[in-house]
Each structure stands twice: as structure tokens, then as C-alpha cells.
Amino acid sequence: MLFKSTNVLIVIALLVLIAFHKPASALQIKRVVTDCGLVLKLRGDVRDGDYSRLKSILQTGSIIGVEIRSSGGSLADGAEIARVVRDQGLVVYAPKECDSVCAFIFFAAKERYIGGRARIGVHSVSNQRGKEDADTARSTVMMSRLLAGFGVPHSIIGKIVATPPAKVTFLNSRELAELNVHRTNPFQSRGAASVAAQSEEACSVCAPAINRQAEATARFEQR
């Protein structure tokens, strides 16, 4: 089953203490109430210990999605955050740049959205010195297999493997389309007149399918 991948995530976390860019600041966490429900807004690099800070919030079941902007950070904590995002079927929105482990969290989402000028950047795993070695090479392979289980296309996985840790390769429009990425904000307030129609459509992705079915049934019975 797919969620045997949870064990793979744990192994990756143990193999690599720090991946991608060395984080400069702690992850900023903010709860935001939207028309769709409670959204977790994350800003900054993922640091060791950030998953512990997020754990109690994410496991309450009250969060319907994540808005994230990050250049990367700790693979260990990022992998755990990705696991919860995947387990709970959360929607992820990247308003601007989302690189390295941020992209990993983005790939784990049930549904993926980006802002108009957002970019998703990837590269292989590094050690504490920002270099590749035998352990990080194995971690890159294990991560690639996990992403394949998430439905990430092989062309994107190939970019991850081929891009050295010191560089970042951004996904192109074709690759974003293969990921079914939507260029809209799913958490946009419907009160904004200029985007009312768009936000109403986007907000529907946050509503449970059973509610949409009940609404359709109610409309049918009224006829």
C-alpha cells in the first residue's frame, strides 16, 4: 500500500539530519481562518524541531490546507510534515517560491495550487556540508521512490536526481500541468469582488465531497 511509504519517510529522516539549504530562520507558523476553513500559513526555512511544533496543530484534524513559502531546510522535519499532509489529504498552496523540502511537502498534497508568479524548485539531497556522499545519494533514491508513490512524474524525479545540491532546477509549465497544479488561490476570500467567481470555484475543493453531494441532492429534490 502507498502508506508503507511512511516507513520510508522515517528512514530518510534518520539518514539525513540536514538537507538542501542550511536554514537561516525558524519556520513561522500562523493559523488563518478562510471561507474554506482553517489554513496553516508557513513561512521560512524548515528547521529541526519544527515538526514537533506543528505536530499538535496538524493532528487535530481541524486544518484543511497549508499555504507555504520556503527555500528548504531540514529533510527530517520536512519529511514528517509531508507525511501528515499526505495522511490527512491536505490541500497545499504555494503563493511564491517553494524549493527543496518545501517542494517535497508540496508534492505530498492531495491537491496542489500555486500563485501566478510562484516557482517550484528541486534538487538532490545534501549532507551537513552541503555536499553529496554515499548516504545522501541513497537518500535521494529513497525519496525519489516515495515521490513516485505520490504520483510525481518521472520527468520531475529525474530533475531531482540530476540537480546537484548547490543548484536549483525549477519545474516548467508542462511538468506543473502533469502534477495537476492549478494557478489560483484555493483559500481566497469570496468577499473580493474581482476574484469572486474564481475563489468560489477554488473554495469548493476544500469542502468535503459528501457536502457537495448533499447540496446537489437538495437542489434535485426542490425541483
The count of structural domains within the chain is: 1
Note whether 12 and 19 are within 8 A (CB): no
Note whether 127 and 93 are within 8 A (CB): no
Q: Is the pLDDT of residue 200 over 70?
A: no
Q: At 169, which helix (H) or strand (E)?
A: strand 169-170
CATH of the domain at 111: 3.90.226.10
pLDDT top residue among 191 and 68: 68
Q: Is the pLDDT of residue 109 over 90?
A: yes
pLDDT value at residue 26? 73
> 2-6, 110-114, 149-153, 182-186 — which is least confidently predicted?
2-6
Taking alpha carbons only, the member of 8, 50, 7, 5 closest to residue 25 is: 50
For the segment 64-93, what is each residue's pLDDT rounded down to a tens digit?
Answer: 999 999 998 888 888 889 988 999 999 999
pLDDT top residue among 4 and 221: 4
pLDDT value at residue 25? 57
Note whether 50 and 72 are within 8 A (CB): no
pLDDT value at residue 218? 37
pLDDT top residue among 115 and 217: 115
pLDDT value at residue 189? 65
pLDDT top residue among 7 and 140: 140
Q: Is the pLDDT of residue 221 over 70?
A: no
Question: How does residue 212 score in pLDDT terms, banded at 50, 70 and 90?
Answer: very low
pLDDT value at residue 126? 77
User: Could you tell me where the beta strands, DSSP code E, fall in 7-126?
Assistant: 28-33, 38-43, 63-69, 91-94, 97-99, 111-114, 119-122
User: Could you tell me where the beta strands, DSSP code E, fall in 52-108?
Assistant: 63-69, 91-94, 97-99
Q: What is the mean pLDDT of residues 11-33?
A: 57
Taking alpha carbons only, the member of 4, 206, 213 closest to residue 110 is: 206
> Where does 122-188 have alpha helices with state H?
134-149, 154-162, 173-178
pLDDT value at residue 20? 40
Residue 154's alpha-carbon distances to 64, 145, 173, in angstroms, are: 28, 10, 15
For the segment 119-172, what is each residue's pLDDT rounded down to a tens digit?
Answer: 999 998 877 777 787 888 888 888 888 888 888 999 999 999 999 988 999 999
Q: Is the pLDDT of residue 17 over 60?
A: no
Region of residue 98 (left: phi > 0; alpha: psi -120 to 50; beta: else):
beta
pLDDT value at residue 205? 53
* Per-chain mean pLDDT for the chain: 77
Beta bridge partners of 41: 30, 67
**Residue 18, φ and ψ in degrees, nearest 5:** -135, 135
Residue 221's alpha-carbon distances to 3, 35, 110, 203, in angstroms, are: 40, 27, 32, 25
Rounded Cα–Cα distance for residues 97 and 75 (Å): 18
Structural domain harbouring 59: 2-222
